[in-house]
Structure 1
Amino acid sequence: MVQSATKLKVAIYVRKSREEEGGAEETLHTQRETLIRIAEQKGYKNPDVFEEIESSIKWNRPELAKMIASIEDGKYNRILVTHIDRLGRDIGLLDDIKKLCIQHDIVIETPDNVIKFDDENQELLFGFSSVLSDFEYKRIRHRLQKGKYDAVAINNRWIGSIPPIGYTWDKNTKQLLVNPDEKKIVRKMVELALLGYSSRQIADKVNELGYRSRKGIPFKTDRVLGILQNRVYVGESKYNSKRLKKIAIAKDTHEAIMTEEEFNQVQALFKSRRSKENLQSLGIKSPVNKLLVCGVCGKGMTIQLNNKVRKTGRNYSFYQIRPCRHQIDLETKCHNGGAAIYKVENAVVEALKLYKKELEESLVSLLDEDTSDIENNLKSNLESLEADLAKQERKAKRLLDLYLDEELDKQSYQQKKETLEETISALKNEINIVRNKLESLDASTQVDKVKGIIEMIDNFEEMELEEQNATLKLIISGIVFTKTAETNNEPVIDINWREL
């Protein structure tokens, strides 16, 4: 016996995908009101409404799951939706819903159709609608990804859901804008990285200074690495579409917080930080690794393990600088000798103590230094660069007008456009460099830099091997080692310090 309309318990399901156009509330409201009106017209009393904003291919949608659980409990025998694709666009998911409806004798009703699965024609109609929904979903996904790709490749703008720290999203201009407060965090990370701090040390330092993420959470190592290795901070945007099998990269889509030169230096410093285990696996156990230079031929010197057996038969081993035997010319080989590595290490530790005193003395002159002339020159240079940039951008606009007016052919336009884009990109990069120089001109910034190196020297002997090696590479360009007859076979060690 068929139940009367008044005894039917109906579930209304409304859904909007985040990817669909139109406001979420407006779309959900329209669906909901349409289906409630149908329920009233047909006498379905007190329908339960399930609504959500979820993707059409997700199987674990919260509201859909609740409705399915209620169907399995025998609560409903009819589902109202505006279209089959509101239930889903994935063929596998829709097939499972069809099986559920057959098992529990559920009718699916839309404004245009009533689908009863005991009718072969209507079951076929549902299957056909499922295939169309799946095809439409794939078409939508392709169109969306093509739109995102074009936004980067053609429209030269950043795309993403959440702007990275240091930026805010301007909905009107559809551009990333620098957030002055968050920029300070990113710049501090860059400065510490250039000082040779590890990602862990950078996280500790910025947390100690009171900086936090947008959610108020202290920074962790992986977050620091994610920021410092992200090219969005040099003004670049990227979109990788696996579906299209294409990668779009656009430069100068927004104001950079880090220069290209700084970015490359930071990556090089991180790359040089090998783990302690990797250093040991190479048979190297010295903080002076890759810093030794031969005082005779000028080539790099290596460290090796020297295994010896005492006369008593007891084994002992130590690390030493391997004697240099590089070919100087066709007939001559280098004759520089080697030595136990601890002799160089001890000399470096003593040199660090003297270098620390020099740095402490330099702090006094830094605080007294008058930088007004330098600042005026930089500001003048910045004004000139910005004027030149505005001029080049006007040229680019005029060039486009000429092309649109058909006064230039496509090939000529492309050639001139590429030349102008290179000039504009170079000017923007130079402007960023000058701006960063102005920001770092404050004596306190240089003081912090010197204090940072002094702090590293103070903690040097407590550091792990990789940190000692990275610290020395930061402040030393080379350790020149000489041991020849001219030095009475005594090691002579000269340290070349880097300029701050």
Structure 2
Amino acid sequence: MMTLDFKGDPVAINVAIYARVSTEEQAEQGYSIPAQLEVLRSLCKSERKIVYKEYVDAGISGKSIDKRPALQELLRDVEEGKIQEVLVWKLDRISRKTSDLLYIVEKLNKNNVKFRSYSEKEFDTETAAGKLSIQILGVIAEFQRNTIIENVKMGMKQRARNGKWNGGNVLGYNVVEVPSGKGSESVLLVNPVEAELVRKIFRMYAAGQGLRSIANQLNNEGYRTKLGNSFSTVAVKTILTNPVYIGKIRYNVRENWNEKRRKGINPNPIIADGEHEPIIDMDTWEAVQKLYGKKSKTSPRVFEGTYLLTGLMRCPQCGGTLGAHRVKDKLKDGTVVVRRYYVCNRFRNNGSRVCSSNSVRADLVEDFVMNRIKEVVLQPKILEDIVNKINKDRSKSVLPLQKEIAALDKELKTLESQKQKYFKLYESDAIDNDFLVERLNELKAKFDQFAQRKREAERQLETNTSSPISIKEVREVLTMFHKLLENSPLNTQKTLLQTVIKQVHVKKNGKELEGIELEFDEGIKKCFLTLAPSTDKVEGAFAFRKQKSPSRYTLVI
């Protein structure tokens, strides 16, 4: 159940009441379950809040949260978004242990759930004192969490040094949990079928096949990775360079993952003799590593250049991006010629089992884009026809949108009236809490649907009722854009094209282009018409491209 109010009214929210009493406390009148519930119910009713559910742990100690079924159910409902506020009579009803209280408060904060204690007013996350208390708890929780993380890292590093497995699933082995001391630990056991596939990959590479050739062959023969995906060049490379297959444990290859991701390479990872059985013999391993080292050395570049349209074209077959690709051809006289293409990235990484190359000659498509922009700039009639058609289509849609918005407004007002009617019935005790919750949720589902459609229609109407696109202004923008392109180096040309081109459309036959989709907004227009960036610095134009603008429009030329 989501927030029940339609207009952000803070009273129409779902409240979870939690009550607990231990065996010893049951004799005390002030601590009784009925007494706690009565106080909290009255508070909710006075604030016109909906009691979603009452969670009661009777005769259970507050020392541990694991053995309280009602509290565990409440936390599950919090994670599922059913509750917006948790209310307790007293803080110790939730927990007597600070560590457990920290855990619960952190979980509530993570799910944007308010927490209140009836007796301790300072534990109300909507008050300044409450926010301060929660922040203090958060600092303590972060310190405890970081301490735990450091201890876990130290333990895992020591396990790796001892030859024990810390990782997840790996092709060629099954990860099995075995008893160890007080608990269990993960060990690697050889999977005979997968191990033979690993040996096959090593044999293929040692025989001279490249990464792409191996991935393509494996996919065509029906093989899959450990996770059931198609093989890619990266997957093959990972297998060929993983010392786990010669009985080694490699750990801590990357450091500071949250900030540096794959760039945080550790120059001194842990490599130790593992407890598991190797799959690849040392002779094969060393031969493959030597061969891989030779192929990985950077060879002299036979072509220097920039692919201007990277990321701007989609594969007409699978919808993936077309990426840069070079092919070397040797002519009859022995001359080596490098031809540039844009090809399907999924084909390059996973082979013909996944998609086709759908290659497009880079020089041809880049020339087409540059010449088409020049043609539109130099022949005013072409641009005039394009802009007039867009303005005409926008004008036609205004009246239908206005009618739709008016109809949606009427529906929303009706739903709001029905909501107020149910609140009045609830306050007069004509209906109970469960009936109210059910009806309000039905109304809210409808309200959200209509409100979303109204927002979309209003945005579209705002665009279509704004001033018509100025042919003169578009021509000026394109003229300045064209001048910058002609007088810029390749890397700057690429930035300019990325700024204005939304997509270069490739026909389904993969051999022809349908058109170039240009996208403009106020930022881009201002950049080209007033700021006029220099040919060696267009960061201003590129920054505008990332901003959202209600007056954005597209032209297909």
TM-score (ref. length: structure 2): 0.35
Please identify the structure whose Cα radius of gyration is greater.
1
Normalised to the residue count of structure 1, the TM-score between the two structures is: 0.39
